[in-house]
Structure 1
Amino acid sequence: MNVTRGNIMEEKKVRIHLEKHYWPDEIRARRKRNLGRILALVGLVLTFVFGWVVGSTFATGEPVEETTDFAKLEAIYQIMSEDWYFGKDVLELQTKLIDDAINGMVDGGGDIHTSYLTSEEAKQFNDSLNMGFVGIGVQYYDSNGTYIIERVFRGSPAERAGVLPGDIIFKVNGAEVTGIGSDELAAKVKGENGSIVEIDFLREGVTVSKKITRAPINNTAYGEMIDAETALLEIYTFGDTTGNEVMDILDDFETKGAKRLILDLRDNGGGYLSTLETIGSFFVEKGGILIQQEFINGTTDTSKSSGFVTVDWEKIVILVNGNTASASEVLVAALDENLGEKVTVVGTLTYGKGTVQTQRPFSDQSILKYTIAQWLTPSGKKIDGIGITPDVVVELPAIMENGFEPLEEGETIAPDSVHVAIVSLQEALSFLGYDVDRQDGYYSPKSVEEFKKYQATYGTTVDGVLTQEWISRLHADVARVWHEEMDTRDTQMAKAVELIHE
């Protein structure tokens, strides 16, 4: 390959994000937070009116003099930090007031990809892109306080220890973790390089204990030859190290004589623009357009390939789904429009995130992450809110596409009910081989009968009542079966293999 690691890193002069999109639960949380602010504002208005009617309840303060909007903001901050009665009960009141004021300004724009992040949140955000931390190398799902392993990264300490998708994290170093916060769990699992963490997992109702040696986790890509001339490249995110990881993988493919490539970008939510430009240059000849950016003043900036191509691929099949977003979508469009008939896109409609973010850091390590541009494909198409439709649409089993709907703590769903969580139950039971008669959310007698059969496999109460505990068990079993039977269950990958050999 005609490029060194140094060449790649020297070209990364900016830190602009085609960043990972917000997941639906994050969007709901943000909407809930905004609603809380609206209700708080309404409450203040009502309090003012009530105080005016029964004025004896309130003391009248001196008018606040201000000459500019910022002076007003500063005056309100001073009043709240010094004179607000309940301020005595708020930890780090001044910091909270400032952070909430900033969040109010940022959220007021209505852009879910623009946000203010505290120093801790900023570190978590960048770690999620770079996967730059010391831990065990798993991705887990929070099912209302039950933590289910969904992915074990290849070559990670967890994989070496025998951790499997579907395992439920039960105890860490002897302490039960069910119900604790996700951040608290992550803090328990992470630690010093070379240190050992003992984790008890629940696997099909049986406790499995593992002693795992922590190590740096930088697995953002994986590659392997699936036959003599066909290679598989999985890219999980576009982080700081991804360009070099992909370069090493492609060098290995070249050495082994690969001619065809399956590029798996499913569930890749994006990352750094500079990384996208590096990886795009591994596939597109020098000068080919990778991405166009349209800025607030109407100008357009074009990024072109540096031409680091080593393998002249005969055919490339790209796998995508609804979580393929941002930088991943840019790469799909760049390869599709530059390489033409060599490329076939397989899967389901992508997310449709067509904006670019950058970071402004502050002295306390907090950052403002905000949208600076909308991106266009090489031919000038916009995909924001639209997504990319695959050439060949292939859907996975419904539960793998839709996921699980959680229940509130203590909530139960009885037979002859209608609930969105029953859709998850029916889809999961169908995936696991049970003979459900419908998947529309009505808890029919047949659905109850099949669920009772599932309950009986755990040797516990068989009552047909759906709870969050049972949803977590179903989720774990679906993840386990998916992992064990992926060769036959992953219809998208099967289609990619079929097309790559046509």
Structure 2
Amino acid sequence: MKNESGEASVEEENQKQPKEAGKFIKIKKFTFIMGIFLLIFLTAGITTIALTFGDEKVDPLASNKHSEFEKLYSTYDTIKDNYYEEIDQDKLVDGAINGMIKSLDDPYSTYMDKKEASSFHESISSSFEGIGAEIQEQDGKIMVVSPIKGSPAEKAGVKPNDIILSVDGKSLEGLSSSEAVLKIRGEKGTKVDLSITRAGEPEPIALTIKRDTIPIETVYAEMLDDGVAKIQVTSFSEHTVKELETALNDMSKKDMKGLILDLRGNPGGLLDQAIDMASLFIPNGEVVLQVEERSGKKEVFKSKNNGELKIPVVVLIDDGSASASEIVAAAVSESADIPLIGVKSFGKGTVQTAQDFDDGSNFKYTAAKWLTPEGNWIHKKGIKPDIKVNLPDYASLPYISPDKELKASDSSSEVKAAEKMLKAAGYNPGKIDGFFDEETTNAVKEFQKEQKVKETGIIKDDTTVKLMQVIREKILENDTQVKKAVEVLKKEIK
């Protein structure tokens, strides 16, 4: 399932995707929604997929049996009958439900009205229109879990843990992830203005992103040198395991001797897919994960492996790896001794259950927590890799809007970011101080000459786009985490 930033949000990550829109597939007695695929995209909408367990039916009339609801009924009747203006009764009821759920202070419990629920169900289809990022609500703010691979959000430089302050000038403060998704999503070709904050950046970053169609392709395979294959899994949707099996067969035909399973930036997805994927690497009958209810009762999910992958494997994780991807990472680490490489994962270890209402609205709430095979709870802690490897510093440089003009005598955080990009690209902008001086101008002109862009000494439009493209290519060429994974595998390949 996908978050809605796609606007997917991490909240629905553990939710099972049904074959019929609007219904949840059940695994035993639990339904998993893994993080709301706010694909923002920021796709079409990071709401993403949340891990959801639970299957109980909620009786909307059950509240009539409880005396503690008398105040609620009395308040509703008084407002309906005596408020000085006519009120929207549906809006009043929605507000009451929202109030109860928000009082839980839980970013993974949320209510969606009919419009929001419809948007969410669309986000589990085969494609989305949006910017392609998964988001979640955290402490009243909208945080990016991860941009979708190849999405407008990723190309614009959106990073995990970015906080989206506003959309088209309107604040997102206090909104749920599903409400934020409705503001971020939009038709292909339209633009959306975001204001974001990022750790280490003193000022908000302004982004203008053109929305696009975000297809749900979740597996990308390539052969590296010396028989090492790299397969990236970007989310867990309905056909992810089949895609992975196909990719493994294709790589085997190319004489694969070792495998890098890349779960970086993967915000989660369907639980059954996570279990099936982990089972490809874990011996039959070994534990994949445990689910613990409030009572302390645990249900154990075990590997359903029917074969054996007889090559060495390593798994890459980062701070954008969440929910279902953390289930797989923890499972292969603890039950198959497969090493994890990268940086600490996101840390989502709770399980939500979802309830649809007859009018098309729904709500979900946290009903349990999931534990690793050894019983560890990684919620808000994340999973630490066996081998910690950071990407180069320039991999975290902020996005610069092509519409923004940077020129001589300017002084700003954008100028400082541009100076760092120029230096990383092999040019000398002088002192990295955020001041656009003569040395910076000369470095820009040299860059423009080599990139066959008009030599103006000004960073704007094509120059900005080219500069960020060069940095993206440099990150791919110098992926320190992949290089370490290759190094580890080569020691194991026979």
Which interval holds the TM-score relative to the shorter structure?
A: 0.5 to 0.7
Instruction: Please give the alpha-carbon distance, in whole angstroms, between the structure 2 residues aligned to 1:461 and 1:77.
Output: 65
CA contact under 8 A between 1:131 and 1:220: conserved in structure 2?
no
Using a 3 Å threshold, how does the CA distance of structure 1 residues 362 and 437 change in structure 2: closer, same or farther? farther
Q: 1:27-426 maps to which residues of 2 (within 5 A)? A: 68-81=67-80, 83-85=82-84, 93-125=88-120, 127-128=122-123, 130=124, 132-133=126-127, 139=132, 151-152=149-150, 166=155, 186-189=185-188, 217-227=215-225, 229-313=227-311, 315-340=312-337, 343-401=338-396, 403-404=398-399, 424=417
Using a 3 Å threshold, how does the CA distance of structure 1 residues 17 and 72 change in structure 2: closer, same or farther? same
Task: Give the deviation of 1:461 after TM superposition.
Answer: 9.1
Specify the code of the residue in structure 2 equivalent to 1:133. S
CA contact under 8 A between 1:138 and 1:151: conserved in structure 2?
no
Task: Give the deviation of 1:403 after TM superposition.
Answer: 4.4
CA contact under 8 A between 2:407 and 2:457: conserved in structure 1?
no
The corresponding residue for 1:45 is none
Using a 3 Å threshold, how does the CA distance of structure 1 residues 167 and 338 change in structure 2: closer, same or farther? closer
Task: Give the deviation of 1:278 after TM superposition.
Answer: 1.2
Task: Give the deviation of 1:121 after TM superposition.
Answer: 2.9
Specify the code of the residue in structure 1 equivalent to 2:287. I
Using a 3 Å threshold, how does the CA distance of structure 1 residues 332 and 164 change in structure 2: closer, same or farther? closer
CA contact under 8 A between 2:327 and 2:372: conserved in structure 1?
yes
The corresponding residue for 1:450 is 440
Aligned residues: 388
The corresponding residue for 2:34 is 18
Give CA-to-partner distance per residue, 1:41-88, whole Å, 9 cap, x none.
xxxxxxxxxxxxxxxxxxxxxxxxxx9442322333344445434657
Using a 3 Å threshold, how does the CA distance of structure 1 residues 134 and 116 change in structure 2: closer, same or farther? closer
Matched residue SS, 2:291? strand
Instruction: Please give the alpha-carbon distance, in whole angstroms, between the structure 1 residues aligned to 2:81 and 2:416.
Output: 52
CA contact under 8 A between 1:131 and 1:219: conserved in structure 2?
no
Matched residue SS, 1:379? coil
Specify the code of the residue in structure 1 equivalent to 2:387. V
Instruction: Please give the alpha-carbon distance, in whole angstroms, between the structure 2 residues aligned to 1:383 and 1:71.
Output: 40
Residue 492 (structure 1) aligned with residue 481 (structure 2):
yes
Matched residue SS, 2:354? strand
The corresponding residue for 2:490 is 501
Task: Give the deviation of 1:241 after TM superposition.
Answer: 2.1
CA contact under 8 A between 1:21 and 1:113: conserved in structure 2?
no
CA contact under 8 A between 1:290 and 1:330: conserved in structure 2?
yes
Matched residue SS, 1:16? coil
Task: Give the deviation of 1:450 after TM superposition.
Answer: 3.1
Instruction: Please give the alpha-carbon distance, in whole angstroms, between the structure 1 residues aligned to 2:67 and 2:121.
Output: 37
Specify the code of the residue in structure 2 equivalent to 1:139. G
Specify the code of the residue in structure 1 equivalent to 2:331. A
Using a 3 Å threshold, how does the CA distance of structure 1 residues 165 and 379 change in structure 2: closer, same or farther? closer
Instruction: Please give the alpha-carbon distance, in whole angstroms, between the structure 2 residues aligned to 1:489 and 1:459.
Output: 29
Matched residue SS, 2:33? strand
Instruction: Please give the alpha-carbon distance, in whole angstroms, between the structure 2 residues aligned to 1:254 and 1:102.
Output: 52
Identity among equivalent positions (%) equals 28
Instruction: Please give the alpha-carbon distance, in whole angstroms, between the structure 2 residues aligned to 1:105 and 1:405.
Output: 41
Matched residue SS, 2:384? coil
Using a 3 Å threshold, how does the CA distance of structure 1 residues 165 and 445 change in structure 2: closer, same or farther? closer
Instruction: Please give the alpha-carbon distance, in whole angstroms, between the structure 1 residues aligned to 2:105 and 2:408.
Output: 39
Matched residue SS, 2:296? coil
Instruction: Please give the alpha-carbon distance, in whole angstroms, between the structure 2 residues aligned to 1:431 and 1:268.
Output: 27
Give the alignment partner of residue 481 of structure 1, picking from 462, 470, 483. 470
Specify the code of the residue in structure 2 equivalent to 1:18. M
CA contact under 8 A between 2:25 and 2:31: conserved in structure 1?
no
Q: Where in structure 2 are there 5+ consecutive unaligned residues? A: 1-18, 43-65, 136-146, 158-166, 171-180, 192-211
CA contact under 8 A between 2:394 and 2:471: conserved in structure 1?
no
* Alignment root-mean-square deviation, CA: 4.7
The corresponding residue for 2:162 is none
Instruction: Please give the alpha-carbon distance, in whole angstroms, between the structure 2 residues aligned to 1:445 and 1:325.
Output: 39
Specify the code of the residue in structure 1 equivalent to 2:368. A
Comparing 393-402 with 349-358, which one deviates more in the overlay? 393-402
Specify the code of the residue in structure 1 equivalent to 2:325. S
Give CA-to-partner distance per residue, 1:247-279, whole Å, 9 cap, x none.
332333445443311101011011222221111
Using a 3 Å threshold, how does the CA distance of structure 1 residues 391 and 487 change in structure 2: closer, same or farther? same
Instruction: Please give the alpha-carbon distance, in whole angstroms, between the structure 1 residues aligned to 2:153 and 2:364.
Output: 35
CA contact under 8 A between 1:395 and 1:401: conserved in structure 2?
no
Give CA-to-partner distance per residue, 1:288-347, whole Å, 9 cap, x none.
10001221001111110011334222x11211111111111111111111222xx22221
CA contact under 8 A between 1:117 and 1:367: conserved in structure 2?
yes
Task: Give the deviation of 1:425 after TM superposition.
Answer: 5.3
Give CA-to-partner distance per residue, 1:94-134, whole Å, 9 cap, x none.
33322222222111111111111234433444554x46226
Instruction: Please give the alpha-carbon distance, in whole angstroms, between the structure 1 residues aligned to 2:466 and 2:85.
Output: 48
Using a 3 Å threshold, how does the CA distance of structure 1 residues 437 and 317 change in structure 2: closer, same or farther? farther
CA contact under 8 A between 1:354 and 1:374: conserved in structure 2?
yes
CA contact under 8 A between 2:429 and 2:442: conserved in structure 1?
no
The corresponding residue for 2:59 is none
Q: Which has the larger radius of gyration?
A: 1
CA contact under 8 A between 2:371 and 2:377: conserved in structure 1?
yes
Matched residue SS, 1:368? strand
Instruction: Please give the alpha-carbon distance, in whole angstroms, between the structure 2 residues aligned to 1:198 and 1:258.
Output: 43
Using a 3 Å threshold, how does the CA distance of structure 1 residues 378 and 475 change in structure 2: closer, same or farther? farther
Matched residue SS, 2:101? helix
Instruction: Please give the alpha-carbon distance, in whole angstroms, between the structure 2 residues aligned to 1:276 and 1:351.
Output: 16
